[in-house]
């Protein structure tokens, strides 16, 4: 038996030797190389556009030499001055900012009152048809957000903007501008789209409250009202504040609704202002606006995560002891059901039926003028830009094919990247690379879509180095769409890989499988399910996407969403409505099928 | 078949903390070597370094003449080329492949033709007695069966070295007992060199031919199981191996109480011997009538804990509390006074290393 002397920490081998050894190891392990490639990719596609847009905000653009008295490319505060302090700054920035705030606050109040109330109704009461209501009330979220604004126009549009007037006007009831356009309709239509968001988040939180927490309070002598005030409400706060901030963030970046309902009355918000600046080719101003939106977006998400951290200290909401006891509404049961039904009717049936009827009647909603011309006619008299029914001609089919192909490819790339990011993060041979990937892939989440599109335009609109100008190419659309959906797929990719752990791959490695064989035979087959969800969720949300693509599409790369907005611009209300109905149908069907087939809940893909 | 040698192997995760410090270890060909130690002692890291899943910061790992890792010479063989088997603690079976496909995987990677592949997979599964579940999927198997499939998956490739990472820790007590015997049998049948990691000393003592005890990244002792038990190299090994653990009484400058009593006895036997600690294993602390030559002292019974085949007694002897383990019934109540004695002591020096044992039957060591 040998007695061992205590081992001392050995002197590390010389640096150069260690390097040789490390390189030898790296040659056999492509994870590191893959990590570096992903880092480069994300740096180029996520970080670089943001840098470009911020730098555009501070550099003089061509064409502004005379006004600013500087040479193009020089550093300048001219655009800051123009946006914040000049005579037109009110028009460019302050008024849109104020309008944005009004819309955001209004939408949040609307969504919280309706969504919160409905959440309570379907999770904590014995309202008849709870299950059905819970499902039905989420449907508005599956429709493109500006579906509601088109329906609104079909009902309330007056002669101000030209084109076909709305139902009420046609009946001889004058609709004032304030009801047809501007803050009120925008708030209502956005509220109708976003209340399911609150419903899902708050409903989930309500459902997960441990019944024992309430029971304990009640046993200690607290009356029902006190239990709600002191136990339930504080536990709801995190979910509620999250929902509120996320809705604000969404409203900030939303384009379709304020464009359709705001512009005819010169009601500008930041997103439409940004769009117009870009259309007017005032790149500098657009860059400043985009930067402001980015900063507000980041602030919102930081506030959210800060609040979440504060709350997490006392959140003891566990999976156990779910609420199974429901408050008895007694004689209010049926009135409560009627209320829920009313919300469903107003947020789903009315808009969808309005759109549908508007496409099959010549005079809005007057069934005596029934016609299928807007869908099927070879020739539509009077319509110049789009002289036939939507199913005739090539426009709809081209746009549908474009949507399918562009969104499909983007989703595929997105899901693959997400899974690979998850793989690199979990393999974790280089913590710094993993950290970078984790954070940067999440960055687009902080940035309202329209601002990110503007940023991408800054970087890719002109040729830079070996990269040619990509404006107007399908490629750019795919890239931007993939990047904006990356946060969700990288998160689910990381989660899926974490759950799998590294052992299955290591076991394959020990068994003699090369890296490529491990990927092909072990990792991807096991992650098949995660990959499919990772493709489908971005696909559905990408199909409805307008804010991101509106600035990037050109005549050759028209998508369904931009086609519809284009028809709105022409004043062909019925045709635009028909296209939106097509989108809504596809997106609703796919969401429904996915939920059925993968049993994934919409809440997990909420971001999309 | 060759030995596995680790020389000067260290592993640091940066920041000056070493998971493994300067480890020299030789696993003889055909051995059933156990790396034993508390959690965080570096035993799993050592195993993963042998497998190639982690890379040492310094040192050399070789099997026979084939160098697998040498930081100093810049040599590295990736895990997939090492021809080793590794059974993971949680088995890591591939959920999308059937049992047969799991077991055939390694052979497929080695481009073994299909008929031979089938035969070898069937043989490996037969060896671990799960050949009946061939076409099932891992999720349809019990924990014990999954464990066996994980083993078969590695046995199928006839590895010269088989590594096991806490292979039995996820099994229930009955299965564990069964698998211990199975592993021993598989070791005999396959002739492979097996290295396995555990924190369970009973597992180590019952199965291994050699045990390497590790603590805080350092090798404490390398010995055969009974050798390890009879002659622990230092206080750590003495206290870690054995249940209940060996009681070690610290001998200060002017020892009183139990320490004083034991020291006087030791000095009367071996003049000039100055231990810093004196250890007594529970089963060496006897309660039957003492022989003349042994150390003995009055003891107060504090508790009697019968366990079927043995009795553990907590005793207060002078100023100290000790456990005695008896294999004959102890007819005593708390509060009784007994005479306890011992003829086996372990003497530890200043640094904690064992300097000698005193044994009535075998004097010195």
pLDDT tens-digit readout, B40-98: 899 999 999 999 999 999 999 999 999 999 998 889 999 989 989 999 988 899 999 99
**A224 or B194: which carries more pLDDT confidence?**
B194
Number of domains chain A is built from:
1
Residue of B nearest to A430 (CA): B13
Write down the pLDDT at residue A339. Answer: 92
Mutate to test the interface with A, among B61, B109, B354 (most CBs of A within 10 A): B109
Confidence class for position A325, pLDDT limits 50, 70, 90: low
Q: Assess whether pLDDT exceeds 50 at residue A605.
A: no
Q: Is residue B364 part of a domain?
A: no
Q: What is the DSSP letter of B353?
A: B
Confidence class for position A104, pLDDT limits 50, 70, 90: very high
**A320 or A160: which carries more pLDDT confidence?**
A160
Cβ of B55 within 8 Å of Cβ of A25? The answer is yes
- Set of chain A residues whose Cβ sits within 8 Å of the Cβ of B73: 17
Are A240 and A112 a contacting pair, CB within 8 Å? yes
Percent of chain B with pLDDT over 90: 52
Same domain assignment for residues B284 and B355 = yes
Q: Is residue B239 part of a domain?
A: no
Cβ of B218 within 8 Å of Cβ of A6? The answer is yes
Write down the pLDDT at residue A603. Answer: 45
Cβ of A1 within 8 Å of Cβ of B57? The answer is no
Could you tell me which of A358, A371, A369, A389 has the C-alpha nearest to residue A151?
A: A358
Could you tell me which residues of chain A have a Cβ less than 8 Å from any Cβ in chain B?
Answer: 1-4, 6-10, 12-13, 17-18, 20-22, 24-25, 28-29, 501, 503-504, 506-514, 517, 521-522, 525-526, 528
Write down the pLDDT at residue A522. Answer: 92
Q: Is A422 exposed, middle or buried (0-12, 13-18, 19+ CB in 10 A)?
A: buried
Confidence class for position A118, pLDDT limits 50, 70, 90: very high
CA distances from residue A459 to A54, A188, A453, A476 in whole angstroms, order as listed: 11, 36, 10, 11
Write down the pLDDT at residue B365. Answer: 38
H or E element that contains B303? strand B295-306
- Give how far the C-alpha of residue A291 lies from the chain's centroid of Cα atoms, to the nearest Å: 19
Point out which residues pair with B345 in neighbouring strands: B358
Q: What is the DSSP letter of A327?
A: B
Q: What is the CATH number of the domain that holds B308?
A: 2.40.50.140
Cβ of A514 within 8 Å of Cβ of B353? The answer is no
Could you tell me which of B242, B141, B150 has the C-alpha nearest to residue B196?
A: B150
Write down the pLDDT at residue B212. Answer: 95
Number of domains chain B is built from:
2
Q: Is residue A596 part of a domain?
A: yes
Q: Assess whether pLDDT exceeds 90 at residue A597.
A: no
Of B205, B233, B261, the last residue of a domain is B233
- Set of chain A residues whose Cβ sits within 8 Å of the Cβ of B82: 510
Same domain assignment for residues B168 and B262 = no
Q: What tokens does B28 get?
A: 């003889």
Same domain assignment for residues B151 and B300 = no
Q: Is residue B162 part of a domain?
A: yes
Confidence class for position A8, pLDDT limits 50, 70, 90: low
**A329 or A336: which carries more pLDDT confidence?**
A336
Confidence class for position A122, pLDDT limits 50, 70, 90: confident
Q: What tokens does A412 get?
A: 């595929």
Write down the pLDDT at residue A3. Answer: 40
Q: Assess whether pLDDT exceeds 80 at residue A65.
A: no
Q: Is residue B309 part of a domain?
A: yes
Confidence class for position A5, pLDDT limits 50, 70, 90: very low
Same domain assignment for residues B35 and B164 = yes
Of B206, B233, B260, the last residue of a domain is B233
Q: Is residue A330 part of a domain?
A: no
Task: Using the structure block, give the residue that is written with the tokens 């009055």.
Answer: B298
Strands (E) in B28-146, as ranges, are 32-36, 58-63, 66-70, 75-76, 84-87
Q: Assess whether pLDDT exceeds 80 at residue A450.
A: yes
Kindly state the average pLDDT of the residues A567-593: 85
pLDDT tens-digit readout, A398-429: 888 988 899 999 999 999 999 999 999 888 76
List the domain range (segments joined by +) for residue A562: 31-50+80-317+338-365+389-605
Task: Using CB atoms, pick whichever of B10, B80, B223 lies closest to residue A10.
Answer: B10
Q: What is the CATH number of the domain that holds A175?
A: 1.10.3720.10
Confidence class for position A600, pLDDT limits 50, 70, 90: low
Q: Is residue B115 part of a domain?
A: yes
Same domain assignment for residues B338 and B303 = yes
Write down the pLDDT at residue A163. Answer: 67
Flag whether residue B332 sits within 8 Å of chain A, measured between CB atoms. no
pLDDT tens-digit readout, A518-553: 999 999 998 888 888 788 888 888 888 888 888 888
Write down the pLDDT at residue B364. Answer: 41
Q: Is residue B240 part of a domain?
A: no
Same domain assignment for residues B303 and B355 = yes
Percent of chain A with pLDDT over 70: 92
- Set of chain A residues whose Cβ sits within 8 Å of the Cβ of B92: 501, 503-504, 506-507
pTM score, whole prediction:
0.80
Same domain assignment for residues B96 and B164 = yes
- Set of chain A residues whose Cβ sits within 8 Å of the Cβ of B231: 1
Kindly state the average pLDDT of the residues A271-290: 86
**B363 or B154: which carries more pLDDT confidence?**
B154
Flag whether residue B215 sits within 8 Å of chain A, measured between CB atoms. no
Angle between helices A573-598 and A147-156 (to 10 degrees): 140
Q: Which of A59-73, B94-108, B304-318 has the lowest mean pLDDT?
A: A59-73
Flag whether residue B221 sits within 8 Å of chain A, measured between CB atoms. yes
Is cis: bond before A262, omega within 30 of 0?
Answer: no
């Amino acid at each position: 038996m040998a007695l061992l002397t205590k081992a001392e920490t050995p002197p590390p081998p010389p640096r150069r030797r260690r390097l040789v050894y490390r390189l030898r190891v790296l040659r056999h392990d492509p994870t590191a190389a893959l990590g570096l490639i992903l880092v480069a990719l994300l740096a180029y596609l996520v970080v670089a556009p943001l840098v470009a847009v911020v730098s555009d905000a501070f550099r003089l653009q061509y064409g502004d030499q005379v006004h600013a008295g500087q040479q193009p490319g020089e550093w300048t505060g001219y655009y800051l001055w123009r946006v914040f302090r000049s005579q037109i700054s009110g028009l460019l920035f302050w008024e849109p900012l104020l309008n944005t705030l009004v819309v955001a606050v209004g939408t949040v109040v609307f969504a919280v009152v309706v969504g919160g109330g409905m959440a309570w109704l379907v999770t904590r009461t014995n309202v008849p048809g709870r299950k059905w209501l819970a499902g039905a009330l989420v449907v508005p979220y599956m429709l493109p957000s500006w579906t509601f604004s088109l329906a609104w126009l079909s009902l309330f549009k007056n002669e101000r903007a030209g084109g076909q007037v709305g139902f009420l006007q046609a009946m001889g009831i004058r609709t004032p501008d304030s009801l047809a356009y501007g803050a009120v309709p925008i708030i209502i239509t956005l509220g109708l789209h976003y209340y399911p968001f609150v419903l899902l988040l708050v409903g989930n939180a309500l459902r997960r409250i441990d019944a024992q927490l309430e029971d304990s309070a009640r046993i200690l002598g607290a009356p029902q009202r006190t239990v709600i005030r002191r136990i339930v409400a504080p536990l709801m706060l995190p979910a509620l504040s999250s929902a509120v901030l996320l809705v604000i963030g969404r409203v900030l970046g939303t384009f379709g609704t304020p464009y359709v309902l705001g512009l005819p009355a010169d009601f500008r918000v930041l997103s439409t202002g940004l769009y117009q600046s870009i259309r007017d080719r005032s790149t500098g101003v657009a860059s400043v606006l985009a930067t402001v939106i980015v900063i507000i977006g980041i602030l919102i998400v930081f506030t959210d995560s800060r609040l979440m951290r504060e709350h997490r200290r006392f959140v003891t909401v566990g999976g156990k002891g779910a609420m199974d006891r429901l408050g008895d509404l007694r004689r209010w049961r049926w009135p409560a059901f009627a209320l829920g039904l009313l919300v469903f009717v107003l947020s789903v049936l009315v808009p969808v039926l309005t759109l549908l009827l508007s496409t099959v009647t010549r005079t809005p909603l007057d069934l005596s003028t029934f016609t299928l011309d807007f869908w099927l006619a070879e020739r539509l008299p009077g319509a110049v830009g789009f002289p036939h029914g939507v199913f005739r001609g090539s426009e709809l089919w081209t746009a549908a094919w474009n949507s399918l192909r562009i969104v499909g490819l983007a989703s595929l790339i997105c899901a693959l990247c997400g899974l690979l990011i998850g793989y690199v993060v979990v393999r974790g041979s280089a913590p710094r690379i993993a950290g970078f990937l984790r954070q940067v892939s999440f960055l687009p989440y902080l940035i309202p879509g329209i601002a990110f599109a503007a940023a991408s335009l800054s970087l890719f609109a002109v040729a830079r180095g070996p990269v040619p100008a990509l404006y107007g190419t399908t490629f750019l659309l795919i890239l931007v769409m993939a990047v904006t959906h990356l946060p969700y797929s990288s998160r689910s990719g990381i989660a899926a890989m974490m759950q799998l752990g590294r052992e299955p791959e290591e076991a394959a490695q020990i068994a003699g499988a090369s890296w490529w064989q491990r990927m092909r035979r072990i990792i991807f087959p096991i992650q098949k399910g995660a990959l499919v969800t990772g493709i489908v969720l971005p696909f559905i949300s990408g199909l409805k996407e307008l804010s991101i693509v509106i600035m990037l599409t050109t005549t050759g790369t028209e998508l369904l969403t931009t086609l519809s907005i284009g028809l709105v611009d022409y004043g062909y209300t019925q045709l635009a409505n028909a296209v939106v109905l097509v989108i809504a149908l596809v997106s609703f069907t796919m969401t429904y099928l996915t939920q059925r087939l993968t049993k994934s809940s919409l809440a997990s893909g909420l971001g999309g | 078949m060759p030995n596995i040698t680790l020389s000067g192997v260290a592993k640091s995760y940066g920041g000056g903390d070493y998971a493994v410090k300067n480890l020299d270890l030789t696993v003889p060909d055909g051995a059933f070597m156990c790396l034993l130690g508390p959690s965080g002692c570096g035993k799993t890291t050592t195993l993963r370094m042998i497998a190639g899943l982690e890379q040492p910061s310094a040192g050399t790992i070789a099997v026979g003449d084939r160098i697998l890792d040498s930081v100093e010479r810049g040599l590295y063989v990736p895990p997939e080329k090492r021809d080793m088997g590794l059974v993971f603690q949680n088995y890591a079976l591939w959920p999308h492949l059937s049992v047969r496909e799991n077991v055939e995987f390694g052979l497929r990677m080695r481009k073994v033709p299909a008929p031979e592949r089938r035969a070898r997979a069937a043989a490996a599964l037969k060896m671990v007695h799960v050949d009946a579940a061939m076409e099932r999927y891992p999720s349809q198997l019990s924990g014990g069966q999954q464990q066996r499939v994980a083993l078969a998956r590695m046995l199928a490739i006839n590895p010269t070295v088989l590594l096991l990472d806490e292979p039995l820790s996820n099994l229930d007590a009955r299965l564990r007992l069964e698998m211990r015997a199975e592993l021993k049998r598989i070791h005999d049948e396959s002739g492979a060199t097996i290295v396995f990691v555990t924190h369970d000393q009973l597992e180590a003592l019952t199965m291994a031919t050699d045990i390497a005890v590790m603590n805080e990244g350092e090798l404490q002792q390398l010995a055969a199981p009974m050798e390890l038990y009879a002659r622990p190299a230092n206080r750590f090994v003495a206290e870690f191996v054995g249940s209940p653990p060996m009681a070690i009484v610290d001998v200060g400058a002017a020892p009183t109480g139990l320490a004083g009593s034991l020291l006087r006895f030791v000095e009367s036997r071996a003049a000039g011997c100055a231990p810093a600690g004196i250890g007594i294993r529970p089963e060496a602390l006897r309660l039957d009538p003492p022989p003349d030559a042994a150390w003995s002292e009055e003891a107060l019974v504090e508790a009697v804990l019968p366990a079927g085949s043995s009795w553990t007694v907590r005793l207060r002897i002078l100023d100290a509390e000790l456990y005695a383990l008896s294999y004959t019934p102890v007819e005593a109540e708390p509060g009784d006074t007994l005479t306890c004695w011992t003829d086996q002591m372990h003497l530890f020096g200043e640094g904690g290393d064992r300097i000698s044992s005193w044994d009535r039957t075998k004097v010195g060591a």
